[in-house]
A = this chain, B = another copy of it.
Amino acid sequence: MSQIYNRVALIGLGLIASSMAWAMKRDGLGGEIMGYARSEETRQTALKLGFVDQIAATAKDAVKDADLVVLCVPVGVMGAVAAEIGPYLKAGTTVTDVGSVKAAVIEAVSPYIPENVNFIPSHPLAGTEHSGPSSGFASLFENRWWLVVPTENSDAEATQKLVSLLQAIGANVETMDAEHHDLTLAVTSHAPHLIAYTMVGVADDLNRVTGSEVIKYSAAGFRDFTRIAASDPTMWRDVFLNNKEATIEILGRFTEELFALQRAIRQGDGDHLHDYFTRTRSIRRGIIEAGQDTDAANFGRGKKAE
């Protein structure tokens, strides 16, 4: 695969940025990779690990000569970063971001993007519960969705070039509008995360109040919730604050359904429960068929001995 951009600047050097960098380096796609992170420790780690070629002391130094700038910072600071780098962006440069929320990021970033620069928001549906510069790996995006959300002003040719890069590092790319993106993610990611955080919090309370060791016996179910609830707190705070309406809309539907199932339990309505559980089981099948998860039991946690 040949180089797609001559110089890429990664602003923020956590899981997504380091994984992008490893993937671009593996395939010789990104030319020179320049990195910037707010924390000196993160900058030094990135340089030591070697996924960036150079480290800049400021965000504006990082973007100066870049053909592609990728904003990999929490959603809540996208606007501030854009304000800082805006005046230093080269004419013709493409700027994208990897935030989990799109409408709010577009609103925050767009005002700072010069007319001769292409802002093409995006969002990779890939991640793990780990964060920071040491957590990245080149295969993170393989066969994962990367949603591209062009704005009215996104140039078609520049968009196509960005899409080529994302596909080259393994992602399946689709484009959609910001509103659809934010509702979809509220259902498939944001609400589930909030629910997992809540359930883990409840267990922790019970642990402390009763002095019993409920968490010690973490069975399947809870164990999976704790993984989800181990995700980066700052990132998730910003997601909820910036996708407020869609998240609250989905939580409202969730609570309604939960109350209906709770009522079925209270009333001993086994048929209602059985029908519901049969329906949800079939949805799993669809996700495995779509190649978005493994059918291996327990995600392949345990290997079959027989």
Q: Using a CB–CB distance below 8 Å, which chain A residues touch chain B? A: 22, 26, 76, 125-130, 135-140, 142, 145, 147, 180, 183-185, 187-206, 212, 214-231, 233-234, 236-238, 240-241, 244, 247-248, 250-251, 253-255, 257-258, 261-262, 265-266, 268, 270, 273-274, 276-281, 283-287, 290, 292-294, 297-306
Contact = CB atoms under 8 A, between A and B. Distances in A.
B199 A214 contact: no
A99 to B, nearest CB: 13
A231 B145 CA distance: 26
A220 B297 CA distance: 17
- Most B Cβ at <10 Å: residue of A192, A203, A297: A192
B225 A192 contact: yes
As for how many copies of this chain the complex holds, the number is 2
Contacts of A224: 192, 224, 227-228
Given A203-B283, A254-B199, A278 B219 contact: no
A175 to B, nearest CB: 13
Nearest to A292: B218
Contact of A306 (B138, B188, B283, B290): B138
Contacts of A262: 194, 248, 251
A12 B205 CA distance: 37
